[in-house]
Amino acid sequence: MAGMTSSIKRFVRSKRLWRGVRLLVVLWLVSVVALVVAILIFSGSDQAQTADVIVVLGAGLERNDRPGPALIRRSARGAALWRDGKAPMIICSGGYGLNRSRSEADACAELLRAEGVPDSVIILEDRSRSTEENALYTRETMQANGWQTAVIVSDGYHLLRAHWIFNNAGITNYTSPAETPSAINLISSTAREVVAFHWLAFKTVFNIPVTYVPVL
């Protein structure tokens, strides 16, 4: 009789455990869907307004060290904002990727010059390897120049996370999305952002310092 009672108790505990696990999975799935919706909504919102500086966030270069499609989109948007008078200066933010002999910032500057932006307007920040480092090193440049506000330019799917990180770094920022990429690119990049947000949340909870993860 005692053995049967013990078995029943184990069964009840096991059932409660699995019920709790299923609830956690459902809550996680709901949070992921909500995050995707937030990313997509934010990606379509252009908040650009007059600021001290425009910051173009870097993107990976091609194998020949030439700018890739993402950096071309972002640089074009940065140049357009400058022509519209949103800010007098542009910071190209992006360091050296794996096996690259050229920084993303240098490639960005080349694209800006092709858009008619003079060298005197462009500042290179070529140390950063992640969005967090984009914010930290950009803050150093802004503080050195007495700047407080920035228009952040990147692909739309990246802007919610960039906005949060730059805010956390103490930079008042307004986001402006580059031209929307292809649907396939948007889907894969949004999925990557979801993973990046999970990593960001993990780092925040466990107070992990700034890190560089090549795929994020």
**Is there a single domain that holds both residue 99 and residue 141?**
yes
12 in a structural domain: yes
**Is there a single domain that holds both residue 84 and residue 176?**
yes
pLDDT-derived band at 214 (thresholds 50, 70, 90) equals confident
Mean pLDDT for 133-146 is: 98
pLDDT-derived band at 215 (thresholds 50, 70, 90) equals low
21 in a structural domain: yes
Quote the percentage of the chain above a pLDDT of 70: 94
**Is there a single domain that holds both residue 25 and residue 101?**
no
Q: Can you give the pTM of this predicted structure?
A: 0.88
**Is there a single domain that holds both residue 177 and residue 106?**
yes
Sign of CA dihedral 127, 132, 136, 138: positive
208 in a structural domain: no
Q: Select the highest-mean-pLDDT range: 18-22, 118-122, 188-192.
A: 118-122
Question: Among 167, 164, 162, which residue's Cα sits nearest to residue 130?
Answer: 162
Q: Select the highest-mean-pLDDT range: 7-16, 92-101, 140-149.
A: 140-149
207 bridge partner residues = none
Local structure of residue 146 (DSSP, 8 states): T
Quote the percentage of the chain above a pLDDT of 90: 76
**Is there a single domain that holds both residue 12 and residue 105?**
no
| Burial class, 144, CB count within 10 angstroms (exposed 0-12 / middle 13-18 / buried 19+) | exposed
Q: Which residues of 99-133 are buried (b: 16+ CB within 10 A; e: fewer)?
A: eeebbbbbbbbbbbeeeebeeebbbbbbbbbbbbb
What is the structure's pLDDT at 216? 67
Structural contact between residues 94 and 84, judged by C-beta atoms closer than 8 angstroms: no
**Is there a single domain that holds both residue 70 and residue 170?**
yes
**Is there a single domain that holds both residue 71 and residue 175?**
yes
210 in a structural domain: no
**Is there a single domain that holds both residue 38 and residue 63?**
no
**Is there a single domain that holds both residue 60 and residue 126?**
yes
What is the structure's pLDDT at 3? 55
Q: Quick check: 32 pLDDT over 60?
A: yes
215 in a structural domain: no
The position carrying tokens 């908040």 is: 47
Structure tokens at 95: 């360091």
Query: How many domains does the chain fold into?
Result: 2
- Tell me, what CATH number does 93's domain have? 3.40.50.620
What is the structure's pLDDT at 178? 96
Sign of CA dihedral 34, 40, 45, 47: positive
Return mean pLDDT, the chain.
92
What is the structure's pLDDT at 159? 97
193 in a structural domain: no
Mean pLDDT for 187-203 is: 93
**Is there a single domain that holds both residue 58 and residue 78?**
yes
Q: Which of 3-17, 64-78, 94-108, 119-133 has the lowest mean pLDDT?
A: 3-17
**Is there a single domain that holds both residue 165 and residue 61?**
yes
Separation in Å, CA 174 to CA 57, 147, 189, 196: 13, 14, 21, 21
| Residue-number span of the structural domain to which 7 is assigned | 1-43
How many Å apart are CA 56 and CA 105, to the nearest integer? 9
166 in a structural domain: yes
**Is there a single domain that holds both residue 36 and residue 126?**
no
Q: Quick check: 12 pLDDT over 90?
A: no
91 bridge partner residues = 55, 123
